[in-house]
Every structure is written in structure tokens, then in C-alpha cells.
Amino acid sequence: MMNEVQFLTVEIGESVTLPYYPEGIRAGFPSPATDYEEESIDLNRELIRHREATFFARVKGDSMIDAGYMPGDLLVVDKSLDPKDGDVVVAYVDGGFTIKELDLSQRDKGIVWLVPHNEAYQRIKISEEQMGVIWGVVTYCIHKSFKK
């Protein structure tokens, strides 16, 4: 499925710091002896390395659902990174944007694959004959952990 990405405007203003617990939150039985020291974190500084080359997008469609990318998830995408084999990327192919895993195993033959993570979808072959552009590398996926 194409057009799986809805782009959003990046507006990075002043720093917004939120409470942060660097020791982590246990997923098992809590320890009363653990002393939690509260610090603060700025998500802009944490999630965005290259401000001018970063954009946000929202996942539409289900071709990457088996890799944990759900419809509605918020992606942080960095256009300045050099895409590597196995990266999840946003690509422009056949007139639409899509999010897929990048397979460079046949790059020496002039072929790049965009791999979905849902058996209902086929891999997309990008060769010298077919134009495709890697727009950026997904650096973070923010997934809502509850339903409305």
C-alpha cells in the first residue's frame, strides 16, 4: 500500500522539560528499597539530532504492523542520515510515500528492495529502471500504549 505516511510540520520552539526517572520503571515486582531520583528530560533534544533535516510523519496503513509500526504511530524521520541495510525508511515510489525496511543485499546488481512486515504485502523492487527515492531514516516510532 502506498501513501502510508501522513507528513506533519515540525515546530521546535523553546525547550519543554518533563519529569524523568533515569533509573527506569520496573516492569516486574517493585522494590521499596529503590530510591527514585527525579530529573528532567527535553524530548526535542532527546529525539531530534538534526533539526533542519528532521520531520514527523504519522503511519497510515498496516504494511509494517508485524514490525510494531501501527496505524496512527508518530514517526521521527531524519533526512540527513545515510540509509543502511535493515533501516526502516520513508521512501517515495510510484507517486506515493511508504514506510518499509530497506534491503540492500542486491545493491551491487543495481537493485534495492523495500520490505513490508505484513504477509499481505509484496516487497517493492527499486531498480535503475524504476525511480525510487529514500526520503529519510526512521529514528523513533512513538506508539500509543492505550486505546481511546
Catalytic residue numbers read 63, 100
Instruction: In whole angstroms, give the CA distance from residue 8 to residue 73.
Output: 12
Instruction: In whole angstroms, give the CA distance from residue 62 to residue 22.
Output: 33
- Asked whether 50 and 80 are in contact (CB, 8 A), the reply is yes
The set of residues, in sequence order, having a beta carbon less than 8 Å from that of 105 and lying 6+ positions away, is 85, 113
**Strands (DSSP E) along 1-53, which ranges?**
5-8, 17-20, 39-42
Going by DSSP bridges, is the β-strand pair 88-93/132-142 parallel, antiparallel, or unpaired?
antiparallel
